[in-house]
Amino acid sequence: MAALWGGRFTQAADDRFKLFNDSLRFDYRLAKQDITGSISWSRALEQVNVLTSQEQQDLERALNELAEEVSQDPSKILQSDAEDIHSWVESKLIEKVGDLGKKLHTGRSRNDQVATDLKLWCKEQSVELCELLVKLQQALLDLAVREQDTVMPGYTHLQRAQPISFGHWCLAYVEMFERDLSRMRDTADRLDRCPLGSGALAGTAYPIDRHALARDLGFKQATQNSLDSVSDRDHVLELLADASISMMHLSRMAEDLIFYNSGEAGFIELADNVTSGSSLMPQKKNPDALELIRGKTGRVYGSLSAIMMTLKALPLAYNKDMQEDKEGLFDALDNWGDCLEMAAMVLEGLKTNKPRMLAAAQQGYANATELADYLVSKDIPFREAHHIVGEVVVSAISRQLPLEDFTLEQLKEFSEVIESDVYQHLTIDACLAKREVLGGTSLTSVMSALDEQRIEVKQDISSAEVVGGSSEEQVQNAMGNMQQRLNAHKAELMNVRHAKLTDVDAITEIIAHWSEVGETLPRSRFDVLNSILDFSVAVDEESVVGCASLYIYGTGLAEIRSVGINTDHQGVGQGKALVDHMLQRARDLEIQRVIVLTRVPQFFEKHGFTELEKETLPEKVIKDCEGCPKKMACDEIAMEFIIT
């Protein structure tokens, strides 16, 4: 196959150089993105009269045919001797439409072409990886619900420290993967800039509307500087950094579970479908899935280190060194995705050995801190209490007794202030129950944390409000609370529920409709996916017919967003049920104030919202309006609902 750049040369490339130089063996994965970019470029060329309308239609039809062929059998690409995916697509296009295919590259360089292809690929991968992160979080939450009252020892320095619940352990990793999601959202936002139209380095010579081109390709906007556009690989670095941090979290979780699964701990048993046996020792059941997660972490780290070293001294603009950006990225993100999927599978089949875990928590004097706290409650300074308990533990070790088995007389040998009430502080239940602070390991705290993670907890709607008196204010408050519960119950009867991952496409479609008519802000599928825990949906016979989200700005403040009902299901109370449901969620989360920006204030007035000056809204709310297409001519009305 003739090279795209052969006109300058009088000698053919050496076969060894061609093998060394060509990238088709790995960049064939960008075929879909290269075809997509080429279709958009053909439309841009039509707009500046480089292509006629008929020529553009012929090119787009041929490119769509090629995309279909690629999707059916991607391996056909590797049978070619093309230099890279760009030359392969162009050659196949010329086979289909003749010399017309040669016009497509007008004003375009492989430099801005490959930068665009790779960004498109990264955008798609970001969505898939976020889905896998959310699924892993859900697996952890499901396990936390199941094991929220399973007691186990917590460790520092791999020494038994204080008792915790296994549910609390699960929620620790939910927090870690939430940070991974946050980093992915930030990365996706920064890479959402289209470089196409930047040419080789100085921009294209044709009056292309690059912002329209960016929107046609699904980017938020176009890049600003052509030199930076073709040489920027920050998104590769960021994705690899995101992958590396997340793999570190996965590796830590794998190490914990490997230890818990060991014969020495015996806390858990892994399912047969994620373990293997020994070719020599028939009794073995090896945690291979977890060990491979731990092992592949180093492989992902290596990809990050490699690209950082590659880019560290490159001059502007494009250099062939940048061809090294893809193999490591493809390999790292493939492995990250595989590990996220495998980790969720491990958690789904995991079984706990509750008696063994409880026994381990009762050993190692994990209640020593509780004895010290007890002494502090008797007005002994903590440092002195710490010293006293240390002496008690030394004595307990020599007698081979747990602290709770000491007699009162034996304990009084160390301090006269100890009385019989000490024993209620030394039980495992007491150790856990005292940690009722936010983020603590008490059952109450764990249940609260689960609720914060949007785990649906059924409430007893029929329970009566206790009125502490007969004043008019108290009666009104009680009636208001009962009405709130009734509204929540109505929402439940209208089949309003928390959103699931499988609802993402339906929610995106509803929002797209109402954003087109100007009633709500547009939101991409990626945005909906990453904020799925904020959404609730109205369902009619298993079909999602409405949606709304509750966006929390900080303590005490939330905003109802993206309220929309399918046009075929309006007028039957679905919108009202969704808003009632959202207000109840706000109450459950102890939000004091809910705001909304709306063009239908009369609808929200019926729910008790009152109008307020938009200028009085917090700065962080106003900042979120930056991306609104109507920012300079906003016709929305600000309203608020105060929760009492």
Looking at residue 396, its pLDDT comes to 84
- The answer to whether 402 touches 396, Cβ cutoff 8 Å, is yes
Q: How far is CA 451 from the centre of its chain?
A: 18
Backbone CA torsion sign across 373, 378, 383, 387:
negative
Other Cβ atoms less than 10 A from the Cβ of 202: the count is 12
What is the greatest pairwise CA distance in the chain? 101
Q: Is 559 helix (H, G, I), strand (E, B) or coil?
A: strand
State how far the Cα of 242 lies from the Cα of 362, in Å rounded to an integer. Answer: 39
Rounded to the nearest 10°, the torsion over CA 502, 241, 169, 351 is 60
Residues 595-624: pLDDT tens digits?
999 888 888 888 889 999 888 887 656 555
Determine which helix (DSSP H) or strand (DSSP E) holds 122, and give its type and residue range.
helix 110-146
CATH 1.10.40.30 for the 368-426 domain, yes or no: yes
Structure tokens that stand for 410 in this block: 């034996």
- The answer to whether 290 touches 257, Cβ cutoff 8 Å, is yes
| Domain pair 6-108 / 368-426, same fold | no
How far CA 98 is from CA of 58, 62, 103, in Å, comes to 11, 11, 10
User: φ and ψ at 288, to 5 degrees?
Assistant: -60, -40
The domain locations on the chain are 6-108, 126-199+233-312+320-357, 368-426, 472-642
Which residue ranges of the chain lie beneath pLDDT 50? 454-483, 485-493
Looking at residue 634, its pLDDT comes to 64
214: buried, middle or exposed (CB in 10 Å: 19+, 13-18, 0-12)?
buried
Q: 440-470 as b/e, with b when 16 or more CB fall inside 10 Å?
A: bbbbebbbbbbeebbbeeeeeeeeeeeeeee
User: φ and ψ at 637, to 5 degrees?
Assistant: -110, 135
The domain 126-199+233-312+320-357 belongs to what CATH superfamily?
Answer: Fumarase/aspartase (Central domain) (1.20.200.10)
Catalytic site includes residue 244: no
Going through 31-82 in order, the beta strands assigned E by DSSP cover none
Residues 387-400: pLDDT tens digits?
998 998 898 888 88
What number does CATH give the domain 6-108? Answer: 1.10.275.10
Looking at residue 599, its pLDDT comes to 86
Q: What percent of the chain has pLDDT over 70?
A: 83
Q: Is 494 helix (H, G, I), strand (E, B) or coil?
A: coil
Q: Which of 278, 377, 471, 543 is catalytic?
A: 278
State how far the Cα of 255 lies from the Cα of 261, in Å rounded to an integer. Answer: 10
State how far the Cα of 499 lies from the Cα of 547, in Å rounded to an integer. Answer: 8
For domain 472-642, give the fold.
Aminopeptidase (3.40.630)
Structure tokens that stand for 376 in this block: 């502090």
- SS percent in the chain: helix, strand, coil, step 5: 60, 10, 30
Residues 260-289: pLDDT tens digits?
999 999 999 999 999 987 655 766 789 999
Cis peptide before 317 (omega within 30 of 0): yes
Determine which helix (DSSP H) or strand (DSSP E) holds 564, and give its type and residue range.
strand 557-565
- The answer to whether 240 touches 233, Cβ cutoff 8 Å, is no
State how far the Cα of 564 lies from the Cα of 547, in Å rounded to an integer. Answer: 6
Given its phi and psi angles, is residue 458 left (phi above 0), alpha (psi -120 to 50 degrees) or beta? beta
Given its phi and psi angles, is residue 608 left (phi above 0), alpha (psi -120 to 50 degrees) or beta? left
Q: Which of 53, 157, 279, 463 is catalytic?
A: 157
Looking at residue 453, its pLDDT comes to 54
Looking at residue 279, its pLDDT comes to 59
Residue 543's DSSP bridge partners are 540
Catalytic site includes residue 387: no
Looking at residue 222, its pLDDT comes to 97
State how far the Cα of 131 lies from the Cα of 122, in Å rounded to an integer. Answer: 14
* Residue listed under structure tokens 């460790």: 155
State how far the Cα of 639 lies from the Cα of 610, in Å rounded to an integer. Answer: 5
